[in-house]
Chains A and B, each alone.
Chain A
Amino acid sequence: MTARPLAVVGASAAGLAAAEALRRLGWRGPLTLIGDEPHLPYDRPPLSKQLLHGTWEPERLLLRGKDQLDALALDLRLGTRATGLDAATRTLTLDNGETLACAGVIIATGVAARTLPGAEGLTGVHTLRTLDDALALRARLTGTGHRLVIVGNGVLGCEAAAVARELGHDVTLVGVEPIPMAAAVGTEIGELLAEEHRAHGVTLHTAAVAGFDASGGAVTGVRLANEGPPGNGGVAAGGAGTGGSTRLPADTVLLAIGSTPAVGWLGDDPVLDTSDGLRCDAYCGAAPGIYAAGDVARWEHPVHGRPVRFEHRMNASEQGMAAARNMLAELAAADAAGSAFADAFEGAPPERRPFAPVPYFWSDQYAVKLQAYGLTTGADRVETTVLDRAGCRAVALYGRDGHAVGVLAAGLPPRQVRGLRAVIAAPVPWEEARERVRAATAAG
C-alpha cells in the first residue's frame, strides 16, 4: 500500500521550511509542494530593499539552489493554486481540477496585499508583495525624479520610501497614523524614524486617501480625505472622482496598507476557524492532520497565552519547521490505525512540541537597523531610551499587564542585541526587565 502524499500549500519561506523539515525528520513518501506563483521559492524581505533598489537581481532571492530542491524529491507544483480543502478527508482541490487525497496538509498560503477601491486597473498604482509586484514597481521607477506617493506608513511603506529616496525620487508617505510604524514600534521610535525620513527628504502626511486622479487610465494624483471625520480608524477610500481637497501629484503610487490572510480558498468549513488567519492550537494544528505555518497561521502562543499571528520572516521558517514536526508526530501516533505511514517513514517519530518562539523582526531604513524581540504590538506601556538621537540609536521596552513582553534595538551592536533577546525570551516583571535592559545596553 502506497502512502498518501503529505502536501504543503504555499511555496514561500514557511512552506519550504516545512517541506525541508518533513524530509529531515524522516518522511520518505510522496511530498507535494504547491505554490501559486510561477517562481521557485524566494525570499520576500529583500523585495522592498535590495531588489527594489536594483542591487540584487531576482536569482539572488532564491531560498535554495536547484540541487538543494532536487534533493527534497518534491512533487513541485508551481503556478498552481489550491482552491479547496475537505478537512475531514484531507483532500485538496487544485485550480487545474485535480484532487489530491493527502495523509496530512500544511497550510502556508501567506497573505495578500490589500488594495483600495478605485485603484484597479490604474497604470502606475502598485502593491508590493510578490516578486512580480516588486519587478513591476522597480521598472516603473526606472530613471530618477519620479513622483511617488506611498499610501501606508507601516514597515513596508517606510522601507520602500527609504529605497525610493536613495534612488532619487520625490517621495511622499501618507498614513492614517500620525507617526510612521507607531502600531509596530510605539510613538517614540516611530518619531525617530519620522525624523530620519524627513532628514532624507520624504514628505509625511497624516490622512486617509479619498481617491485617485487619472488621465488616460494612468494615475496622476492621490486625493486625501483631510476634511473627513477624524479618527475613523481606516482608509476612507472612495472611487475615483469623490471627496478630498488636498491632491498629491503622483506618477507612481504604492499601496502599502497591510495585507489579508490567504484563507479564502478554505471556504467556510466549520471545522476550520478562518477569522484573521487560520486558527491553530499551540502545536500549529488547525484540525486533525491539518497544520498551518507562517503569515497565515494564528496560533495559541503558549508563553504569551493568547492567539498571535506574525507576518515576520523569522517566524515563517520556525513555524514551518514546527508544523512539520508536530504533524509527523500526530500521523505517527495515529499509525496504529493501519495507514501506510510507517512504510514511508524512516527513523524515530518526532515528539509533539508546543510552538513557543521568541518572535523577532527587523527592518532596514537608510543606515538604521531595527531589531525587535517578543511582542511590540498591543503594548499598554512603552519606555524608550534614546541613546543618540542624531545616530538614531535607541532601545525600547514594551509592556502589557505589568510584564515586559517585547524589546527593540535601533542601531545597537550585535552583542547587545543578542543580550536583549535573553531579557525578553518570556514575559518578565516590568521593573526587572528595565534593569536587565539597562545592564545589557550599558557596556560597549
Chain B
Amino acid sequence: MKITLDADKCCAAGQCVLVAPEVFDQRDEDGIVVLLDAEPPADQHEAVREAAAICPAAVIEVHE
C-alpha cells in the first residue's frame, strides 16, 4: 500500500489522526495533515482505508 496526499485540500478535521495515529499527524500551527508513513505495514492498512474513506476533504489517496 502506498499513500499520497493532496494536503492543500486538507480542512484540518484531524479524523485521520484519530483513526490511524501511526500513519497520520497534524501540523501544530494549522492542523494540516502530515504523512508519517507513506508505505505503512499491513496491520495499518484497514485503518488507513477507513481514514481515507472518512476524510471530509478527500485528501488521502490509497494505492493498493
Question: A interface vs B, CB < 8 Å?
Answer: 13, 17, 20-21, 24, 43, 45-46, 60, 62-65, 68, 313-314, 317-318, 321, 360, 362, 364, 369, 371, 413-415, 417-418, 421
Contact = CB atoms under 8 A, between A and B. Distances in A.
A414 B26 contact: yes
Contact of A43 (B29, B30, B58): B58
Interface of B: 9, 11-15, 17-18, 26-31, 49-50, 53-58, 61
Given A317-B56, A321-B53, A414-B28, A65 B61 contact: yes
A63 B28 contact: no
Given A414-B26, A414-B28, A414-B31, A313 B56 contact: yes
B13 A317 contact: no
Contacts of B14: 414, 417-418, 421
B53 A362 contact: no
B53 A21 contact: yes
Contacts of A421: 14, 18
A17 B53 contact: yes
A369 B58 contact: no
Given A65-B61, A369-B12, A418 B56 contact: no
Contacts of B13: 314, 360, 362, 371
Given A24-B49, A362-B13, A418 B54 contact: no
Contacts of B18: 418, 421
A417 B49 contact: no
A126 to B, nearest CB: 24
Given A360-B15, A414-B14, A318 B26 contact: no
Contacts of A413: 28-29, 31
Contacts of B53: 17, 20-21, 24, 317, 321
B15 to A, nearest CB: 7
9 contacts: A21-B53, A45-B11, A362-B12, A371-B12, A413-B31, A414-B26, A414-B27, A414-B28, A415-B26
Contact of B54 (A68, A317, A369): A317
A413 B12 CA distance: 10
- Most chain A CB inside 10 Å of its own CB: which residue of B14, B27, B28: B14
Contacts of A371: 12-13
Contact of A314 (B9, B27, B30, B56): B56
Given A45-B57, A68-B61, A371-B13, 4 more contacts: A414-B14, A414-B26, A415-B28, A418-B17
Nearest to B46: A24
B33 to A, nearest CB: 10
A422 B56 CA distance: 19
A196 B9 CA distance: 24
Nearest to A61: B58
A321 B54 CA distance: 9
B20 to A, nearest CB: 13
A43 B28 contact: no
Among A24, A68, A414: residue with most chain B CB under 10 A: A414
A312 to B, nearest CB: 9
B47 to A, nearest CB: 13
Contacts of B31: 369, 413-414, 417
Given A415-B28, A418-B17, A362 B11 contact: yes
Given A314-B13, A414-B26, A417-B14, A43 B54 contact: no
Contacts of A24: 49, 53
Contacts of B56: 13, 43, 45, 313-314, 317
A64 B28 contact: no
Contacts of B54: 17, 314, 317-318, 321
Contacts of B15: 314, 360
A354 B13 CA distance: 23
A-B CB proximity, top 4 nearest: A414-B31, A414-B26, A313-B56, A317-B54
Nearest to B27: A414
B51 to A, nearest CB: 11
A286 B27 CA distance: 41
Nearest to A415: B28
Nearest to A417: B14
Contacts of A17: 53-54
A101 to B, nearest CB: 29
